[in-house]
Structure 1
Amino acid sequence: MSAVPFHYVDLRTFCYATEDEKRVEAALRTFLPEETELKRDVTEGHNGDRIVIFSIRLERADDVRHVLSKLTGLGELDRLLEELEARIDDNCAFYIGLDKQAAYHGDVALGEGLMLRGKVEAYPAKRERAIATANEALEDLAAQADGA
C-alpha cells in the first residue's frame, strides 16, 4: 500500500477503575508505531469512578500505514468490506471497533474496547467517494493478508 487512503487515524480506549492501566495502554499500543506518545486524560464516570482515556491521532503517512498494516492480521477483512457502507459516515470518517482483550494479547479482532476512526481521503469529499477509496484500501489489505 503506497498511497495512504486516510488523512489521519484516531485510536482511543477507556481504562475503567476495574482495569489495569498498563494493560489497557499495552492493548492500544498493539496498533501503534514504537515510541508513539499517547494522550492520557483522567475523567470521572457517572458513579464517580475514575476513567482514564488513552487517545492518539496519527497524521504522518508512515504512522497511518503502520496502523493499517496491523489490520492485515484481522481475520474479518471480508466482514469489514461487507459492512463498509455502514462504517463510513457523511463526513467521510471510517469506524472500526476492535477487541481490547485480543489486542492486549497482540491479536487483532473486531469487537469492543478500542475505537479506530480514520478520515478517508476522498476527492471530492463525498461519502460515495470515501466508500470507494476505503473499499480499495481494504481490498489491498486483504491481498496483503492473503500473501502473508
Structure 2
Amino acid sequence: MASVPFHYVELRAFSYATEDEKRVEQALRTFLPEDVELQRHTSEGHYGDRIVVLSARVELADEIRHVLSQVATLDDVDDVVAELDDRVDDNCSFFLTFDKQAAFGGEVRRGDGITLRAKVEAYPAKREKAVTNAREVLEAL
C-alpha cells in the first residue's frame, strides 16, 4: 500500500474505576507503533467514579500503515468493507470499534471498548468519495 488516503487515525479507550489502567493501555498499544505517546485525560463518571480516557493520534503514513496492518488481521474485514456506507459519516470520518479484552490479549477482534476514528482523504470532501477511498484501502489489506 504505497499511499495512505487518511489524514490521521485516532484510537481511544476508557479505563473505568474497576479496570487496571495499565491493562487498558496495553490493549490500546496492540494497535499502535511502539514510539507513539498516549494522551491521558481524567474524567468523572455519573456517581463520581474516576474514568481515565486514553487516546492516541497517528498522522505519519508509516504509523497509519501500522494501525491498518492490525486492522487487516480482523477475521471479518470483508464485513467491514460491506458496512462502509454505515461506517463513514458526512465529515469523511471512518469509525470502527474493537474488543478491549481481546486486544489486551493481543488479538484484534471487533467489539466494544476501543474506538478507531480515521479521517479519510477525499477531494472534494464528499462522503461518497471518502467511502470509495476507504473501500480501496480496506480491500487492499
TM-score range, shorter chain: over 0.9
**TM-score, normalising length: structure 1:** 0.94
**TM-score, normalising length: structure 2:** 0.98
Q: How much has 1:137 moved relative to structure 2?
A: 0.5
Q: How much has 1:122 moved relative to structure 2?
A: 0.7
Q: How much has 1:2 moved relative to structure 2?
A: 1.1
Question: In 1, Cα distance between the equivalents of 2:102 and 2:114?
Answer: 10
| Aligned-CA RMSD value | 0.6
Q: How much has 1:5 moved relative to structure 2?
A: 1.6
Question: In 1, Cα distance between the equivalents of 2:35 and 2:120?
Answer: 25
Question: In 1, Cα distance between the equivalents of 2:57 and 2:72?
Answer: 20
Give the aligned residue type for 2:42.
V
Give the aligned residue type for 1:86.
D
Aligned length: 141
Q: Which residue of 1 aligns with 2:43?
A: 43
Q: Is the 8 A contact 2:36 2:58 kept in 1?
A: no
Question: In 2, Cα distance between the equivalents of 1:84 and 1:133?
Answer: 10
1:24-65: CA deviation from partner (whole Å, max 9, x where unpaired): 000000000002110001111011000000011111111111
Q: Which residue of 1 aligns with 2:23?
A: 23
Q: Which residue of 1 aligns with 2:101?
A: 101
Deviation beyond 6 Å, 4+ runs, structure 1: none
- Aligned with 1:73: secondary structure? coil
Question: In 2, Cα distance between the equivalents of 1:59 and 1:35?
Answer: 13
Percent of aligned positions that are identical: 61
Are 1:12 and 2:43 an aligned pair?
A: no
5 Å-filtered alignment, 1:107-122, equals: 107-122=107-122
- Any stretches of 5+ residues in structure 1 without a counterpart? 142-148
Question: In 1, Cα distance between the equivalents of 2:43 and 2:36?
Answer: 22
